[in-house]
A and B are shown apart, each in its own frame.
Chain A
Amino acid sequence: MSTVAELALASSGLTKQFRGGQLAVDGIDLAVPTGSVYGFLGPNGSGKTTTIRMLLGLIQPTSGSHDVLGLPMPAGQAEALPLVGSLVEGPAFYPHLSGRANLARLDAADRTANPASMHDRIERALDRVGLLAAANKRYRAYSLGMKQRLGIATSLLRQRQLVILDEPTNGLDPQGTREVRSLIRKIAADGTTVFVSSHLLAEVEQICSHVGVMRTGKLVYQGPLADLQGQARLLVRSPQPDRAATVLREIGLTGVAQVGQEVSADLGPMLPQDINERLVRAGVPVAGLETPRRSLEDEFVELTGEGFDVD
């Protein structure tokens, strides 16, 4: 790797058909830009975890190929995966070992990790997830939030270029969710690409720069989050909605719709203040003007059709 790969994760036609014939992942083309925080969304059972397992080489794709950090898999696994921190389908550790001993175990399994710096790296990882005080407690005595944080700590054991987190906030209370969100921001702030799967839209909306949306094994949307929300609408409230609608059409806005005293249109490249000026100049009384952003949830319902957990 002489240069940093443009895509931290890339797949082409990645497909997994289980032995029962179930098509869990159906030819997805992932493109996770280096440096992004990529939210991997979809209802439960839409193939997110299966995809992550394929990316990490835990299960073999039925067809298709994928690269991790620019290295083709599975040939490049030994080289690429040490640079990838991951938490797959919830934390799993040895219940009779302490949090610290569990991290030491994983570090010992890593043939490329330096044992001399292990102690410091473990302390730093525990510190970052706020588990130093509970480091010597047995894992079985951990609360769900602590277990989840220990899982994230494994991905921080070394300097990573990519961190893959599968449902990191699953089962956490709002406080724990906030902590995890803040952790993900910190990881991303270090320049690490973060690939985070979730079925919690609010989570993704707050931390992600890019999203991919899965529905029954297919990637139905992928791109910058802003693009997904990008079709910002303009909403004008006026006692003379007909005139307002006419002016908006005249200045080239599309998708003009009128409901009662409210007129809405696609904002497009124009600035709201310019539109306001045109309206006022045309003598349209403007009682209110706003640019409501569509929530991710609205997009979702559109992309995944049914209610989010209905599939």
Chain B
Amino acid sequence: MSTESRSAAEQPVNGQVPADTRGAGVTADGTAAVPMAGSTPVVAATPAVAARPRVAARPTVADTATAASETNGAPSTGWQPADAPAGDRPRQHQPDEAPAARRGPVPGWLRFFFSELRLVFGRPRNLALLGVLAAVPIFFGIVFRLAISAPTGPGGGPAFLNQLAGNGVFLALVVLTLLLLLLLPLAIAVISGDSIAGEAGLGTLRGLLAVPAGRTRLLSVKYAVIAVFCLAACLMITVISLIMGLILFHVGPVTLLSGTTVPLWAGIGRIMLVTVYVAIALTSAGAIGLAASTLTQHPVGAIAGLLVVIIGSEISDQVPQLSAIHSYLPTHYWLAWDGLFRAPIDWSGVAHGLLSFAVYGVIFVSIAWAKFTSADVSS
């Protein structure tokens, strides 16, 4: 019998537990002692571990036997038969940590949520994605500035260049529209497609579920972080675009589509509304990615799946023969925010869009939930 395991057992383990964690824990009989919310923590009775009975020598018991019989902590001369009464096996449990369970579901959920946020926003690949998205407004800002100051001058280029020359805040709308074609869907596909399938591929999913993180809880945290990523990406693009617009172009009161002119701050407010609208559109697409992510262990499959859906939807939206289904396509309302640039604001397009996004979100989150909560995790 190794002496190291004996000395480990004789150390009072609770002596190593910091004082502030002694509020409660698992008591000697295995019952979880849980402090009531708002009350002072109950100090759990701790069995004197160091004083537990030990047998100095065990004649005729092989070395291998001692290791196991010591786990019982009771005087024993050999093997505990499988049918020995449980009372023969007193067990020690030191106060480990105060369970946080009864503080309500939200703090625990938030803790997991912040951990997931750190994971997603701390991952080098995702940061590179955000970096590319951030570079786009800078790149296009400079390109448009050069195009405007080129010899052809204003009037020679596309219409939006004239608008840009007139007011730099429009850079945000131009960039968001351009990014919605491919780069933003790609970023959302990577984040949402990776959400469950990435954990499955790494093998970390089984560890999380065995914790147990809870399948519904894990899914809710994943989707919440997808939503945060969509909003963060869109806000980042808008803010950088506004700054670039301010630096490179003339900025002033904003002339709306309806011809009315509103002060600069009101114009920026409307651009922020567009940003949030686009973020919601992408979050809805993220639900499709989340559902795809529960169907495979390969993140690439889920990412490609969502991209196929989005690009297929965008193409179908351009085919006149399919006009009957246009308004049911997931991307149909992605650019339906022009009503926000009328005075008074025309909410009908936005409202239809939000309804479409909500329906897609609910359907695909439900699919993800139904699949994930019943799936065998064998990754």
Contacts and interface: CB of A to CB of B under 8 A. Distances in A.
Q: Do A and B bind each other?
A: yes
Interface of A: 1-6, 31, 33-37, 53, 56-60, 69, 77-78, 81-84, 86, 88-90, 92-97, 104-106, 108-117, 120-121, 124, 154, 158-159, 161, 182, 185-186, 188-194, 205-210, 222-227, 293
Interface in B232-266: none
A262 B338 CA distance: 100
Contacts of B96: 121, 158-159
A208 B32 CA distance: 28
Which of under 10, 10 to 19, 20 to 34, or 35 or more describes the interface residues of B? 35 or more
B101 A189 contact: no
A37 B97 contact: no
Contact of B212 (A60, A69, A77, A192): A77
B108 interface: yes
30 contacts: A34-B86, A37-B71, A53-B206, A53-B376, A57-B209, A78-B212, A93-B204, A108-B115, A109-B112, A112-B99, A114-B99, A116-B20, A117-B18, A117-B21, A154-B207, A158-B96, A159-B96, A161-B26, A182-B4, A185-B5, A186-B4, A188-B67, A191-B71, A191-B92, A209-B69, A209-B71, A209-B80, A210-B82, A226-B65, A227-B79
A92 B206 contact: yes
Contacts of A60: 374, 376
Given A5-B30, A92-B202, A209-B68, 6 more contacts: A34-B86, A57-B212, A82-B99, A93-B204, A224-B79, A226-B78
Contacts, number: 232
Interface of B: 2, 4-6, 8-9, 13, 16-18, 20-21, 25-26, 29-32, 62, 64-65, 67-73, 78-82, 84-86, 89, 91-94, 96-101, 105, 108-109, 111-112, 114-115, 119, 122-124, 202-204, 206-214, 217-218, 374, 376-378
A106 B208 contact: yes
A109 B108 CA distance: 8
Given A105-B115, A109-B115, A111-B217, A5 B86 contact: yes
A29 B32 CA distance: 28
B202 A207 contact: no
Contacts of A36: 68, 71, 80
Nearest to B377: A58
Contacts of B209: 56-58
Nearest to A193: B71
Contacts of B78: 226
Given A4-B30, A57-B212, A209-B68, A115 B18 contact: no
